[in-house]
Amino acid sequence: MPYFNIDGVNIYYELKGDLKAEETVVFFNGVMASTTSWNFQVPVFRKFGYKVLVQDFKGQLKSDKPKGPYSFKEHAYEAKELIRHLNIDKVHIVGTSYGGEVAMRFAIDYPELVKSISIIDSVSELDEVLKYFIESWKALAESKDAEKFFWGMMPSIYGNTFIKENIEMLKKRAEEFKDFPEDYFQGQIYLYDTFISDVYMTDELDQIKCPALVVCGEDDILKPVKFSKIIADRIPNSEFVVIPDCGHVTIFEKPDVLNSILLGFIMKNS
């Protein structure tokens, strides 16, 4: 499997599509996810001739899990080093949830590398409700009970319609969590601590000058629309889209709608 070692930490990545393409789209994962979470998006961008880079942040499933907490600056720096290692000049970044927060940090710290940024279901600050959602996830991860973990966090991330229509798939997903290595849960704890301590960047968002798209599910109860509106209001000339009847995991719940929005935005800025 392809790994990039930086400062002794192995970062898992996959480079796909037309490797000679001038335009590269980088996907940044949500906190619980891995590179496969983009399976509804990657084929679309490959079809339209883009080179695609996916990776797991340190602490995530396929990458190393050094003792945390980390920082969003660290994640952005490691992504930047990977991009440079692969001799990629500039990128379009698509990030969901935790990945959207890393994307904002990346665009603030390395503007010369970013052609566009798409931020999905993310925040640039916390409120008490979100903080204690994450604290509850941390307690579930500490139990190391895979099924308990999945069903405990599931209602906070998926929308009502999606749950009703996909309950059998979700049951299967809960079973799959049993196969995750034990260090997955320790990595999650490090990432949750990182989020709670370091997600504050609202006051820096006006430094993002590249074209920006902000997307949120209308029924996202974990990171409600108000947070995406804060981001869209603070980033100059951003575009803001709310997707109806959709919870937090827009990339799974409304992939066709989201792909149309992402592809149109990125093609326009390619």
Q: Is the pLDDT of residue 199 over 80?
A: yes
Residue 12 lies in a domain: yes
Q: Residue 124's pLDDT band (boundaries 50, 70, 90)?
A: very high
How far apart are alpha carbons 5 and 125 in whole angstroms? 31
Please give the average per-residue pLDDT across 242-246, as a whole number: 98
Contact between 37 and 251 (Cβ < 8 Å): yes
The string of DSSP codes covering 123-162 is: -SS--HHHHHHHHHHHHHHHHT-HHHHHHHHHHHHS-HHH
pLDDT of residue 259: 98
How far apart are alpha carbons 212 and 69 in whole angstroms? 28
Residue 137 lies in a domain: no
pLDDT of residue 105: 98
Q: Is the pLDDT of residue 27 over 90?
A: yes
How far apart are alpha carbons 35 and 39 in whole angstroms? 8
Q: How far is CA 167 from CA 147, 162, 175, 258, in A?
A: 14, 8, 13, 22
Structure confidence by residue, pLDDT tens digits, 80-112:
999 999 999 999 999 999 999 999 999 999 999
Residue 261 lies in a domain: yes
Which domain does 12 fall in, by range?
Answer: 3-126+199-268
DSSP tally for the chain: helices H, then strands E: 11, 8
Sign of CA dihedral 69, 130, 42, 22: negative
The CATH number of residue 36's host domain is 3.40.50.1820
Structure confidence by residue, pLDDT tens digits, 132-167:
999 999 999 999 999 999 999 999 999 999 999 999
| Domains contained in the chain, number | 1
How far apart are alpha carbons 54 and 29 in whole angstroms? 8
Structure confidence by residue, pLDDT tens digits, 216-236:
999 999 999 999 999 999 999
List residues bridging with 3 in a β-sheet: 12
Please give the average per-residue pLDDT across 198-209, as a whole number: 98
Contact between 65 and 186 (Cβ < 8 Å): yes
Q: Is the pLDDT of residue 182 over 90?
A: no
Residue 34 lies in a domain: yes
Residue 13 lies in a domain: yes
Q: Minimal CA–CA distance to 223: which of 60, 98, 93, 118? A: 98
Residue 237 lies in a domain: yes
How far apart are alpha carbons 17 and 47 in whole angstroms? 8
Residue 142 lies in a domain: no
pLDDT of residue 81: 98
Structure confidence by residue, pLDDT tens digits, 30-87:
999 999 999 999 999 999 999 999 999 999 999 999 999 999 999 999 999 999 999 9
How far is CA 122 from its chain centroid?
A: 8
How far apart are alpha carbons 188 and 59 in whole angstroms? 7
Share of the chain above pLDDT 90, in %: 96
176, two tokens: 């799959």
Residue 230 lies in a domain: yes
